Amino acid sequence: MGAHLIEMRNISKRFPGVRALQDVNFTIEEGEVVCLLGENGAGKSTLMKILTGVYQQDSGVIFFQGEELDVASTRDAYKRGINIIFQEFNLCPNLSAMENIFLGNENRTRQGLFSHKETRKKALALFEKLDIDIEADIPVCKLSVAKQQMVEIAKALSYDTKVLIMDEPTSALTMKEIDTLFTIIRCLKERGVAVIFISHKLEEVLAISDRIVVLRDGENCGDILAKDATENTLVSLMVGREMAGFYTKRMMQPSEEILLEARGITGGSKIRDVSFSIRKGEVLGLAGLVGAGRNALVKLLIGADRKSAGQIFMHGQEIQIQSPKDAVKHRIAYLPEDRKCAGLVLPMTARENTTLCVHTKIQNRMGMISRRKENAITDAYIKELRIKVFSREQVTRTLSGGNQQKIVLAKALAVDPLLLILCEPTRGIDVGAKAEVHSIISALADKGMSILVISSELQEVLNLADRILVMHEGVITANLPIAEANQENVMRAAIGSA
Amino acid sequence: MVHEEKILTSKAEHTFSVSSSIQRIFRQRESAIFLALVAIMVVITIVAPQFATSGNIYRVSRQISLVAIASLGVFTVILTGGIDLSLGSTIGLSGVTCGMAMAAGVHPLLAILLGMVTGFSVGIINGLLVSYVGITPFIVTLGMLSIARGSIWIVTKGWPVENIDDRILVLGQGDLLGIPVPVVIMFAVALAIHFLMRFTVFGRRVYAIGGNEEATRLSGIDVQKIKCLAYGISGLLASVTGIILVARFSSAQTSSGEGWELDAIAAAVIGGTSLAGGAGSVVGVLIGAAIMGVIRNGLVLMRVSAYWQTSIMGLIVILAAVIDRVKNRKVA
- pLDDT of B234 reads 97
What pLDDT sits at residue B17? 46
Q: Is B53 on the interface with A (CB under 8 A)?
A: no
Contact state of A43 with B4 under an 8 Å Cβ cutoff: yes
Q: How far apart are CA B15 and CA B17, in angstroms?
A: 5
What is the value of pTM for the model shown? Answer: 0.76
Of A301, A321, A260, the closest CA to residue A471 belongs to: A301
What's the pLDDT score for residue A139? Answer: 84
Model confidence over B206-258: pLDDT tens digits?
999 999 999 999 999 999 999 999 999 999 999 999 999 999 998 989 999 99
Q: Is A18 on the interface with B (CB under 8 A)?
A: yes
B199: which chain A residues are within 8 Å (Cβ-Cβ)? 368-369
pLDDT score recorded for residue B28: 66
Distance CA B315, CA B323 (A): 12
Q: Which residues contact A147 (CB under 8 A, 6 or more apart)?
A: A97, A134, A140
Q: How is the beta sheet containing A33-37 ordered, strand by strand? A: A82-85, A163-167, A194-198, A33-37, A211-216, A219-225
Q: Do B219 and A40 touch (CB under 8 A)?
A: no
Q: From CA A264, how far away is CA B95, in angstroms rounded?
A: 56
> What is the CA angle A160-A165-A170, rounded to 5?
125
pLDDT at B22: 56
CB of B215 closer than 8 Å to CB of A339: no
Amino acid at B331: V
- Judged by CB atoms closer than 8 Å, whether chains meet at B5 and A398 is answered as yes
Q: What is the pLDDT of residue B6?
A: 39
First to last CA, chain B: 9
| A346 neighbors B274 (Cβ within 8 angstroms) | no
d(Cα A55, Cα A41) in Å, to the nearest integer? 16
Q: What is the pLDDT of residue A77?
A: 84
What is the residue-level pLDDT of chain B in tens, covering all 332 positions?
334 333 333 334 444 444 555 555 555 667 888 888 999 999 999 999 999 898 999 999 999 999 999 999 999 999 999 999 999 999 999 999 999 999 898 899 999 999 999 999 999 999 999 999 999 999 999 999 999 999 999 999 989 988 888 888 888 888 888 899 999 999 999 999 999 999 999 999 999 999 999 999 999 999 999 999 999 999 999 999 999 999 999 898 999 999 899 899 999 998 988 888 888 999 999 999 999 999 999 999 988 888 888 888 888 888 877 876 776 654 44
* End-to-end CA, chain A: 57
* Closest B-chain CA to A369: B200
Q: Which of residues 384-423 of A touch B (CB under 8 A)?
A: 388-391, 397-401, 404, 411, 415
Among A152, A148, A194, residue whose Cα is nearest residue A172: A148
Q: Which pLDDT score, from 0 to 100, does residue A41 have? A: 65
**Interface check B202 vs A, CB under 8 A:** yes
3-state secondary structure of A83: strand
Q: Do residues B63 and B291 make contact, with C-beta atoms less than 8 angstroms apart?
A: no
Under DSSP, the state recorded for B49 is G
Quick one: pLDDT at residue A428? 73
DSSP string, A235-299: HHHHHSS--S-SSPPPSSPPPS-EEEEEEEEEETTTEEEEEEEEETT-EEEEEE-TTSSHHHHHH
Residues on chain B touching A324 (C-beta within 8 angstroms): 217-221
Is any Cβ of chain A less than 8 angstroms from the Cβ of B207? yes
CA A276 to chain centre: 27
Could you tell me if A462 and A285 are in contact, meaning their C-beta atoms sit under 8 angstroms apart? yes
In order of A172, A206, B155, the CA distances from A230 in angstroms are: 24, 8, 82
Does B2 contact A400 at a Cβ distance shorter than 8 Å? yes
pLDDT value for B3: 43
Instruction: Tell me which residues of chain A have a pLDDT lower than 50.
Output: 1, 242-245
A352 at B interface, C-beta within 8 A: yes
**Interface mutation vs chain A, best among B4, B204, B224, most A CBs within 10 Å:** B4
Contact A419, A259 (CB under 8 A): yes
